[in-house]
Every structure is written in structure tokens, then in C-alpha cells.
Chain A
Amino acid sequence: MIATRSHIIKTLLLILLSVNFVFAQNIVFKTSNFKSDKDGLKKALKNIKLGDEFLQSGNDAILARNDAIKFFEQALFFYLPANKFNPKNIELNVKIGNAYLYTNQKYLAYNFLQKAITLDDKEQETDPTIHFYYAMSLQLEGKFSEAIDQFNIFKKRQKDKKFEPFADFYKKHIQECESAIELIKKPQKVWIDNLALNSEADDWSPCLSADGELLIFTSNRANEHLPDSYGRYDNEIYYSTLENRKWIKTEAINTLNTQEDDAVGGLSYDGQRLLIYKVENDNADVFESKLNGTKWEEPERKMGKAGNSVNTVDNETLASYDPKDIKVYYLTDGGYGKNWDIMFSGVMNKERNIWGKGQSAGHEVNTKYHEGSVYLHPDGKTMYFSSQGHNSMGGYDIFVSHVDELGHWGPAQNLGAPINTPYDDLFYSSTASGKVAYIASNRKGGEGGMDIYKLTLWGTEKPQSLDAEEQLIASIANPIQDKTISQPVMVEERNLTVFKGKILDIITKEAVGANISITDNTTGKNYISLTSNASTGKFLISLPSGKNYGIAVSADGYLFHSENFDIAKGETYNLLEKDIELMYIDIGSKIALRNVFFEIGKSIVKEDSFAELDRLVDLMNKLPNLSVELSGHTDNTGSEVLNIRLSQKRAEAVVDYLIKKGISEDKLTAKGYGSTAPIDSNESLEGRKNNRRTEFKIIGN
């Protein structure tokens, strides 16, 4: 499987390569190749020739470590139309790449050089500088290892003496690539944003007020002046203000701008003074303008008069204030070996504008390569500057240096990737907090040329916060759903019946004041006791309906009366009337004991009979002379023999109960009559019920 796949890949590669070979054909600028367009060829050759002159001047300047952007831009002005005519010429592609590498559009070099390399299938035929410039473009692309390889190929192939001056350069480039490989390993915690105010042209030298709300910068964007013959405009000074975190209202500072290049170097921290440089008689000096209201005043030469110890025959350009306002740091081409270096001068007499001789910012800052910008941070202890030297990743990189107690600037530290790139990274201007800074760079991905970038340094990572939950209170963690409510209640339907009547003497019909006791037969308990009116015999009581009651009436000298009755569940208005006649105690008197009950067919006295029998016990205790016969009676149903036997036994059971309650046996006689002594008719249910009874008869007193 793997073998098959690798075979497929190989085949694909071969196909791709052969496609390349088909197209990879160097087309030389010669008549035989352009028979149909001889005029075009002629024009192209002329352009190449013109371009070559500028390229040569440019490359000479570079070898002398001088700035040569303009030469290369002019070379490109001629080369590009020729390349349009014939894009497949190795040599021209290399030349265009070469030129772009030294402009502010370096990022365009790579495609031309890569094309040249592709066209160069017979490597040995072309100038070995193709590897040098291709390596430079690979370095810019961040392909540092490949770049080193290409520099090494160049090193191997350049046998000619004319390449000797390149030695320093490729060695430096290899160093840069090695530095870059190290620096990108530890990227800085920063965001880099291209400002919306950037143009297609160069926007550079950002100068920020310490509050971060005013930005003054330089740009050679299209302006009202006439462009030069190559379409380039002069540099002018612009300002922009911050509103809602955005730079708005970008405008030229017309009072400072002239027909020539005008460039800003440094802004005082309060935003009230500006250091610019002006060229007079081919010599650049630092000037200062002050803000008067909203107008920048006519600039005056800073650091003394022209031609003095500071404003020398050399050029003094980009400058920075020092927070104590006693020094000015500036760039000059009058440094060691005539490189651009950073120097400073201190004021000796402010009123008379006398300044001390320029001094180097020190060997930790200045190198044998160019330094490109300088900025003193408002803390007064930190210098940000750019340099092609030190451990630059390529082109200018921005470095920081800190001053020691003796005023010496310490070792330069590269600000690192991604602040620095293999392109030119220059300038540094920050807010007082240091959190936000602006730089300029011609790195890839911008709007064109140099662009201004905003750096937001986020420093140490802000910690985020996790959250946990404890359930410290048990009754909250584990609430007990207490839905206890009071229980249902059972309600009896209680309904009262008025129970009334009279107690009378059975013989005389006179009223008897008697004690009446009413028993609730369902509970066997006395429900209420009352007395009938002695003069009328009347009683009146209310009783809960729907029950069976026993009533016992007793009066002195009378046999007590007892019976049971039902009070039916009824309507709201119930009335039950019952008159009770009492018998005066006399020998032969009989009383039916209506509340004596037996178990069915048996002679066992039921418990609910005890209340009645106990009243009989009471009566006999009150009347100790009384002798009684307890008799049992049945109705006429069933066998008479059995009726007599049952009634006899029941009478005896009652007697036994009374004896047990302490009544003397000789006062009691038990007799079962069966159905022989009825008191009612046996024909009806009611009559039979009345006949079934226990009776007692007074047989002696």
C-alpha cells in the first residue's frame, strides 16, 4: 500500500516536473525570438539598457552601504515594461528581483527570482548572483534554512573576483537567517495591526503623544505637489487623532510642508513640539516647530546654528526628544566610518540655543551597519532604535537599550518576532504605559511601501478564573420536601332530636319528679341524667339522632322504669315525645326490664344490659326488704319446651348477675315462663318484641 502510494507520488512529481520543464524555457531578447514584433523588442532592449544604468548605480551604492532606493525604483521604471514584453528572460527577472530587494516593495522580489530560478534549468549558464538574490528573497519569505542553502550555493559558485565585495553581505545574511531562526522560536506576546490610515506609498516615522491620542507621521502619498518623472511624490508631514480607538481625520500639516521632502522625527511627549528635518543646501539639519493653538509654527533650527558643532557638514535627520528636555538624540551620517549612527547633544544654554558637541550613543547601540531611527521612551531610561546590525533578522530591526546609572546605554536587545521581520522594521513610538506602540515596516501584507503598524503588547497572560460549587449547607444541598399537612377529620353527621315527655304515676296519673338516666346503647355509657319536673312531670332533652338509647326512670317509692328506643336520623326539626308511667312499689307489681339483652338463643347476659341491671341492684340495695322474682318471657314462636327452658336459664343468669353484685340469694327467685304470660299480642312483630322480655315482680316487701 505504502509502496503503491509512494509510487503514485513519484509519478505525480515527475508529471509536475515535466510540466515545469515544458514551460521552463529561458527566452532571450533576440530578433529570432520576436520576429513578429521587432519594434517591441527594440523598445524593450532600450528599457533594459536604461534600467541597467540605474541598477548599476544602485548596486554600487549598496556596496558602499548607502541608501539607494531611488536608483532601484528608477531601474524598475524601465525594467517592468520590458518584462511585460518578455516575462521569460532569466536575466531580467533576476535584475527586477535585485531592484525590488532594495526598495520598500521588497516582498515583490520573490516571485521574479523564483521564476528566474525555474527558468534557469541549466544552472551553470547564468550569473551566480541569482542565488544571492533568490536567497535574500527566501530570507524575506521567512524560509531561513533554504535561504542559507542558497547563500551557500552562491558562495560555492562565485569564483570571479568581482564577487569579492559580496562576501561581507552573504556572511551577514547568513548570520541574520541564523538569528531569525532563534528569534522566531520565542515569539513576543503582541498584536500587530496595519493602520487604516496607511496608503499605497510609504507611511513612516510614526510619532505619538504620550497620551496616545495624537499621531504625527511622514508619507510620500499622492499630494497636491507634482510627482517626479517616475511618479513619486515628495514626503510630507501628516497628523491624525484618535477617537473611539480609531485614527480619524488624517491631514497634512501644511504649515510645515514644503515642495521638498519634509519628515518628522520626534514629537514631544505633550504633543506641543515637533522635531523635523529639513534639507538646505544639500545638507539636512534638525529643526523644531512649536504648536501655537492649532497651528504649527515656522520651524527653527534645533541644537544651535548651521555649521556649529552639531549641525555639521554631515546630515542630521531623525531626532527624538529626551524626557528631561536637556538632550536631543538624532541620526547622522557623520558617525564612525560615515555610517548612519545615533548621536546626542546636550543643551548648554537654552536661551542662546547653544548645544554641546554631538556624542555617540555608545558602542552597545551603534554598529558598523546603519542605525535607522531613535526614540526615547517617556520613562527616560529606555531607548528604542533600529539598526541593520546586532542580531537583526534582516534589514533594519528594532532594538531596545536601557541606560545605566552612569548614563551608558546597555546592550541592544532585539524586540523579537513578530515585531521584527526580515524586512525593514523601524521607528518606535509608544504611550506612556508602554502598552501600545507604533512602528513602520515594509513587511509583506501591507498597503504598499512602508506602512505604520500598531503594536499592542499584552504582556503576561491574563489568568482566567474557574468556578466550583460547594454545597456547604446540607438543607440547601438536600432539601427535605416537607409537605406535611393536617390529616382529614372524620365527621359524624350529628343531628339532634328533641326528646320530651312526662313522668306520671301509673295509677293516679299525677306528676312524678323522677331521675331520668339516658344511656347511649352504642357505647353503653350514661349519656346524660336529668330530673323531671316534680309538679308537671315534664322533661325535655335533646339527643343526637340516629342512635339507640336506653332510658331509666327512678323515683322514690316507685319501681324504676326502663326501656330502649331508637331516634332515627332525621331532618333539622325532630321531636320525639314519650310519656312514662311509674308504678308505685307494691307486692305483685311487675316491671319489664327492656334494656336487658342476651346473646341470640343463649342465656348469656350481654354487656349492654349491665347498666339496667345495676340500677336494679341499686333499687334492691335501697329497699333491703324487697324480694323479687326475675322472670324470663319469650314470644310464642318455636318449641314451648325450649322456650320455657331458655327463659328459665335467662332468668337464672340475671339472678346470678345480681347475686354477684352482692344481692342476697334468698331475696331472688328465677322463673322461666316461656310464652305463657304474654303482655301483648303474638300476632304482630311489635307485639312479639314486647313479649320477649325480662321482668321482675315484687313478691315481698
Chain B
Amino acid sequence: MKKHIYFVIMSLMFATFGIAQTADTLLFDSTINNQELNFQDSIANLNLQQQQFKLSRDAYNEGIQLFELNNFSDAVSRYTNAIEIDSLFVAAYFNRGVCFFTLSDYDKAISDFTTTFKLDSTNYLSLFKRAEIYRIVNKNSLALVDYKRIIALDDQNYKSYYEMGVLMFLQNNFEEAIQMYSNSIKIKPTANTYNDRASSYRNLQKYEKAISDYEKAILLDDKLAFVYNNLAAIYRLKDDKQKALSNYNNAISKNPNYDIAYNNRGRLYFELEDYAAATADFNKAISLNPENALAYNNRGVTHHKNKDYVTAIADFDKAISIDKDYAKAYLNRAISKQMHRDEQGACADWDRANRLGISLAKKYLMNDCH
């Protein structure tokens, strides 16, 4: 990036001399005085340009200071000033793009990153950023094109391979995802990449390979609580509840504020019929993250199990207030409402759960509501 700025400065300088030399050669002509005057005027213009150039750089530098103060909208206006003065100012486009990105003004961010790359075809980062936005706005195919372009320019760009892997994973194309993650690992193995490849194996039900990759991720970085959480999930799927439990314990010891692991361990305790321990874990998950709808849902199920339907319904209410499209919570609340003899309420909830795609709710609707 830096290099490029110097390049711009140098080209401006060459332009200066270009004018100087042209003016110089004109000295050989006869009408010396006028041409001298022209030359002098052109120098004056150049000085003006130079002043402008400095103004644009000053605005740009102010933009950076504002960005670092998280004042993104003012930073945008400073970068815009810089660009108005110097329409070829690559760094200003890039930085303004980052601001727009941070402000979730994705169209403008895409436009700036596009300009950045147009002006400087070595700027992979602008393509990378643009791809990130494409993913956010669900234009995954465009994101893919960008990642491929980065790899075409730099075949050692392991980050792009990784991101392509993520895209494939999200499209449930796990085989291809594994290929991409493997490419990335070949260039630079990271815990994240091993984790994701493991998750791909998991989804292909290749549990042994998944376990092996999660363990490799842990070898590279044993502080990542979510990897332990994922590993625990695999053991649970393999019905090895003790190993699952010990991995949830690990996840929690790595990150004592990891509400997800508490919630998941709570579910495991529920399955082990230790309802007191399950409730304690759901309580902890909720205290760590009062917006954890899953933990409210699960605590509700535990209350229901203890036949405390009123408290169960209150928990499902809370889960639904956090996520109004939480289908499972509607299904569960309906069951608790039915047991609490609010059959009308139960039917309304099953109807909602059915609309949200839970087919079991339709069965209950047919059987119990008509």
C-alpha cells in the first residue's frame, strides 16, 4: 500500500518535470518572454496542485485518526475530501470502504473496494473485504469469484482457501469444503482450519476423522473453548456421554464465560436424567448471557419435566421474546400449555410452530385441536 502511495507521488513528480522539460525546450524558440511567462504560470499551477495534494493527504490522515476513535462517519467525510481532491487516491478509497463496511453501508463499501482494486490490482485485501460483504449480503457466488481471483493472483493465499471452504460448508458442500480447507492447511495449518475441516467431516458423519481434526486444532491452540464444545458434540453423537461431558467441562474451563457450553452440558445432564445439574447449567448460561434463547427453552423443558408448567411456560415466553421465530420454543410451549389446560393457547402455538416448519406440530394440531 505504502509503495503505491510513493508511486503516486513519484508520478506527480515526473509530471512536474515533464512540464519543466517541455517548457525548457520551448526556450529555444524566439518568443522567449511569453513562454517564460507560461512556464512560470504553469509552475504556479503546479504549486497549487501541490498544495491540494497535501490537503488531500492531510484529510486522509485525519480520516485515519477519526477511524481509530471509532468515529466512522466523520472518517468517511474526511476520506471523501481526500478523494475529491485526488480521485486516484487508492488508500483513501480503501479506508473509506472499511468505514462503510463498519457502518454496514455495504453498497458503498463494495463500490470503494471495487475502485481500490481497479486502481491497484495488487490490493488483494480490497477483494477480500469485498468478498466478506458479498457473504454478508448473501451474494456467495460473487464472494467465491473474488476469493478465486485472489488465489489466481496469489496461489499461497491460504486465507482465501479457508474462506472458500467456509462458503462450501455453508452451502452444505462438505466434500468440496474439505478440499478447500486441506489446501489452506497445506499452505499454513491453523487451529481454525482444522476445526472447520473437522466440522465438515462431522456433517458427513465421518466422526473419527472429525475427532482427529478437532484434536489437531487443539494441538495448535488449546485455548479455543469452541473446539472442545464441538468435540463434545461429536462424542454425544457417538453416544459416548462421559467423553462428551469431559469435553464440555474442558470447554468451560478454557472459557468460564462460555454460555453455549453451559447450555450444551445442561442438555447432556438432562439426557443423563440429572435434572438438578441441568437446571444449574441452564441458569448459569442465562446469567452469562441473558439473551440465550436456547438456555431459556431448555430450562423450560426441565421445568416441564418437573411438572412445573407455569414456570416452564414463563421460560418459553422468554425464549420467544428473544427470538420470535423460535419454532422449537413454540412447540414446547404448546405442550406445556396443553398440560396446563390452556388448550387454545397450545393450539395457537402448534400452529405457529407448524408455520415455522416443525411437522410434528402439524400432527399435534390435527390430533388435539380439531
Q: Which residues of A contact B (CB under 8 A)?
A: 191, 245, 433, 435, 456, 458, 462, 464-478, 483-489, 491, 493-498, 500, 528, 530, 533, 536, 538-542, 571-575
- B53 near A491 with CB under 8 A, answer yes
29 pairs of residues in contact across A and B, judged by CB atoms under 8 Å = A191-B341, A462-B335, A462-B338, A464-B331, A465-B301, A466-B267, A466-B270, A467-B297, A469-B263, A470-B199, A472-B196, A473-B196, A474-B191, A474-B192, A474-B196, A475-B166, A475-B192, A484-B125, A486-B91, A486-B95, A494-B54, A498-B39, A498-B43, A528-B20, A533-B27, A538-B32, A542-B39, A572-B44, A572-B48
Q: Does chain A have a CB within 8 A of B23?
A: yes
Instruction: Other than A462-B335, A476-B166, A533-B27, give 8 A-B pairs with Cβ distance below 8 A.
Output: A466-B297, A470-B230, A486-B95, A487-B64, A488-B61, A495-B47, A528-B17, A573-B43
CB distance from B209 to the nearest CB of A (A): 14
The docked-state distance in angstroms from the alpha carbon of A465 to that of B319 is 13
- A542 near B91 with CB under 8 A, answer no
B354-370 with Cβ < 8 A to chain A: 364, 367-368
- Given known pairs A485-B67, A486-B91, A496-B16, the reply for A468 and B39 (CB within 8 Å) is no
Q: Does chain A have a CB within 8 A of B36?
A: yes
Residue from A472, A497, A533 in contact with B199 in the complex, judged by beta carbons closer than 8 Å? A472
**Chain B contacts for A458, CB-based, 8 A:** 338-339, 368
Q: Does chain A have a CB within 8 A of B176?
A: no
- Given known pairs A433-B367, A462-B335, A468-B233, the reply for A473 and B169 (CB within 8 Å) is yes
Residue from A471, A528, A575 in contact with B260 in the complex, judged by beta carbons closer than 8 Å? A471
**Chain A contacts for B51, CB-based, 8 A:** 493, 495, 572
The docked-state distance in angstroms from the alpha carbon of A574 to that of B163 is 56
Q: Tell me whether chain A's interface is mostly helix, strand or loop, or mixed.
A: loop
- Given known pairs A464-B301, A465-B301, A477-B226, the reply for A542 and B20 (CB within 8 Å) is yes
Q: Does chain A have a CB within 8 A of B60?
A: yes
- A464 near B1 with CB under 8 A, answer no
CB distance from B226 to the nearest CB of A (A): 4
- A471 near B27 with CB under 8 A, answer no
- B27 near A539 with CB under 8 A, answer yes
Residue from A435, A540, A574 in contact with B39 in the complex, judged by beta carbons closer than 8 Å? A540
Q: Most A CB atoms within 10 A — which of B17, B27, B32, B336?
A: B27
- Given known pairs A465-B301, A466-B267, the reply for A494 and B50 (CB within 8 Å) is yes
**Chain B contacts for A497, CB-based, 8 A:** 43
Select from chain B the residue with minimum beta-carbon distance to A543. Answer: B20
- B57 near A489 with CB under 8 A, answer yes
Q: Does chain A have a CB within 8 A of B109?
A: no
Q: How big is the B interface, by class?
A: 35 or more
Q: Does chain A have a CB within 8 A of B77?
A: no
Q: Tell me whether chain B's interface is mostly helix, strand or loop, or mixed.
A: helix
The docked-state distance in angstroms from the alpha carbon of A433 to that of B369 is 12
CB distance from A311 to the nearest CB of B (A): 40
CB distance from B312 to the nearest CB of A (A): 9
How does the 8 Å CB contact mask read for B248-282 relative to A, with 1 for contact and 0 for none?
00000000000010011001001000000000000
**Chain B contacts for A493, CB-based, 8 A:** 50-51, 54
CB distance from B65 to the nearest CB of A (A): 8
The docked-state distance in angstroms from the alpha carbon of A472 to that of B233 is 10
Q: Does chain A have a CB within 8 A of B318?
A: no
CB distance from A527 to the nearest CB of B (A): 10
- B297 near A536 with CB under 8 A, answer no
- Given known pairs A466-B267, A467-B298, A484-B125, the reply for A474 and B224 (CB within 8 Å) is yes
The docked-state distance in angstroms from the alpha carbon of A584 to that of B67 is 64
Q: Does chain A have a CB within 8 A of B344?
A: yes
CB distance from A541 to the nearest CB of B (A): 6
Select from chain B the residue with minimum beta-carbon distance to A531. Answer: B24
- A541 near B24 with CB under 8 A, answer yes
How does the 8 Å CB contact mask read for B141-155 relative to A, with 1 for contact and 0 for none?
000000000000000
- A530 near B24 with CB under 8 A, answer yes
CB distance from B29 to the nearest CB of A (A): 10
CB distance from B268 to the nearest CB of A (A): 8
Q: Does chain A have a CB within 8 A of B195?
A: yes
**Chain B contacts for A498, CB-based, 8 A:** 39-40, 43
The docked-state distance in angstroms from the alpha carbon of A291 to that of B118 is 85
- B335 near A471 with CB under 8 A, answer no
**Chain A contacts for B217, CB-based, 8 A:** 474
The docked-state distance in angstroms from the alpha carbon of A241 to that of B36 is 109
Residue from B98, B224, B304 in contact with A464 in the complex, judged by beta carbons closer than 8 Å? B304
- A489 near B61 with CB under 8 A, answer yes
CB distance from B140 to the nearest CB of A (A): 14
- Given known pairs A488-B64, A489-B57, A496-B16, the reply for A465 and B47 (CB within 8 Å) is no
**Chain A contacts for B39, CB-based, 8 A:** 498, 540, 542
- A467 near B47 with CB under 8 A, answer no
**Chain B contacts for A533, CB-based, 8 A:** 27-28
- Given known pairs A485-B64, A540-B27, the reply for A500 and B224 (CB within 8 Å) is no
